[in-house]
Amino acid sequence: MDGGAAASQETTAASGGATPPVATVGVRIHHSRRLPDFLQSVNLKYVKLGYHYLISNLLTLCLVPLMVIIIVEVSQMNPNDVRQLWLHLQYNLVSVIICSAFLVFGSTVYIMNRPRPVYLVDYSCYRPPDSLMAPFDRFMEHSRLQGDFDESSLEFQRKILERSGLGDETYVPEAMHFIPPRPSMQAAREEAEQVMFGALDNLFANTNVKPKEIGVLVVNCSLFNPTPSLSAMIVNKYKLRGNIRSFNLGGMGCSAGVIAVDLAKDMLQVHRNTYAVVVSMENITQNWYFGNKKSMLIPNCLFRVGGAAVLLSNKAGDRRRAKYKLVHVVRTHKGADDKAFRCVYQEQDDAGKTGVSLSKDLMAIAGGALKTNITTLGPLVLPISEQLLFFATLVIKKLFNKNVKPYIPDFKLAFDHFCIHAGGRAVIDELEKNLQLLPVHVEASRMTLHRFGNTSSSSIWYELAYIEAKGRMRRGNRVWQIAFGSGFKCNSAVWEALRSVKPSRNGPWHDCIDRYPVKVVS
C-alpha cells in the first residue's frame, strides 16, 4: 500500500512545511482577459488545430491527386498500349509468380506470428456495504477513542482529511469500526474474501463465463500476502481447473494493476483461446498504522476498501461482445535510484509500530517517473503533428537557443479519456497541470477519490466505470490508465473502445452517478 504520489504536498502543508498547498478540488479562479488577447488565443487554437489535421491527413492529401493522375493516364491509353502491357507481363510470368509467392509467404508468416489481440470483455468493481462507511466525524472520533494518537497526530489527521479530496461515503474494513480496533489475520482474510469474491461473483454473473473456463489468474495485493496465497483462495472458492496458470503479485504498490494486466497479456500470447482474470486490490485491516509518525499517518487518511476483477480474452469471437481492446502497456521503474526506492517504504517507527512512510521527495520522484513513461508512450500514441513539433523544438533548443522551453505534447489529441490513479488530490492536480488537461479530463479521478478514496491499484477501474456511467464512452475512444506505485514505478495502459460502452449491471456508481460531479471545498 503506497501513497501513489498523493501526499507529499499534503504532508508539508499540514505540518507547517514550506511547500504551498495545492489548489482546492473543484475550485478554479479565472482572471479576466482583454478581448484582443482572447481573440489571439482563439486564433492560435484554430491554427494549431488546422496544422494537426493537415499533418495527420498529409498522406491522403498527397495520394488523392496521384490516384487521379493515374486514373486519367490509364483512361487515355489506347488498346495497343494495353495489349503491349499484357504481353510484357506474359514474358515476365516467372518473375510475377516468384514475387507473388514471396508476398503470400511473407503475409502468412506475419499473420501467424503477429501479437494476438487482447480484449477486455468486462470488469467489476467491488462496492462495500453501507455499514462500512467512515464519515470524517466518525473517523476522527474513533481515532481519538483508540488512545493510540497524541493531540498533534489527531490534528494532523484532521487537516489531511480536510485537504484530501475524500468525501464522507468512503469505506474502511469492519475491524476498524470496533473500539479498540480488532486487526487480525482472520479479519484480514475476511476483508480479502469480501472484496475478491464480491467483485468476481458480479463479474461471472455479468459475463456468463464459467470459472472452469479461466486459463490464467493474476492477483495483485501489495501488503497482505497470506499462505496459501490470495490466488489460491480464489482457486479454492471457485474450484478453478488444475492446470490454471496462477500468479500472486505482492509488494508492488498502487501501479500493480497495470503490471497484472501486462502479465495477463503476455500469458494470453502463449495460451490460445482462453480467458484471463485479473484481480486488483489492497488490504487495510492488518496495515493500519497506530503510531504518531506523521509521514506514516497519511495512508490511514487516504486508503479505503475497494477492489476490481477484470476479464480478458484472446478469443476472436469475443471481439463482438468485448468492451475494449488493449493497445499498449508501458512500464517505467525507477528503483535503481535510492531516493526513488525509499520514497514509499514500509518500516517500523521508533516505537516499533509498522507503517508505510511517505518521503517529502515523493512528488518530484513521481514527476520524473511520469516524464520517463510518457517519453516512451508518446511516440506510440501521439499523432505525427505533435511528434514533429516536439522534435522541432528539441532541435531549435540544441542548435540555437538553450532557453527555449521544451514542447509539451498535447495528449488530448491522442486520448479521449484519462484515468489517473486516485492516490490523492496532489497527484491529480499535478498531472492536470503538467499535461495541460481540462477539468473534464480529471473529473473521473477526482470523483473516484471523493466517493471511494484511494483504493490502490483498483482505482483506475472505478474511474473507467465513472466514465461509462456518465455515458461518455464512444466507439473508437481511447483511454489512458496511468498509475504510480512504490519502487518507484509509473505504468500506463491504453485501451480502445470497440463500441459505445454502457455501464455493467451492479456497477459501483449505479445509484449515485446522478449526484456527480460534486464540488469539494476544503
Catalytic residue ranges:
254, 333, 417, 421, 450, 454
Q: Read out DSSP for 236-247?
A: HHHT--TT-EEE
**The dihedral formed by the CA atoms of 454, 23, 21 and 340, expressed in degrees to the nearest 10:** 50
> What's the CA gap between 344 and 287, in Å, rounded?
14
- Residue 396: enclosing H or E segment and its boundaries? helix 384-399
- Alpha-carbon distance of 159 to 519, in angstroms, equals 18
Does the CA dihedral 504-302-488-349 come out positive or negative? negative
* Contacts (Cβ under 8 Å, ≥6 apart) of 75: none
Task: Tell me the C-alpha distance between 229 and 246, whole Å.
Answer: 10
CA 220 from centre of chain: 15
Q: Are 391 and 431 in contact (CB under 8 A)?
A: no
Q: In Å, how far are 202, 398, 399 from 406, measured between CA atoms?
A: 47, 11, 13
Could you identify the residue written with the cell 483498483? 458
Is residue 248 helix, strand or coil? strand
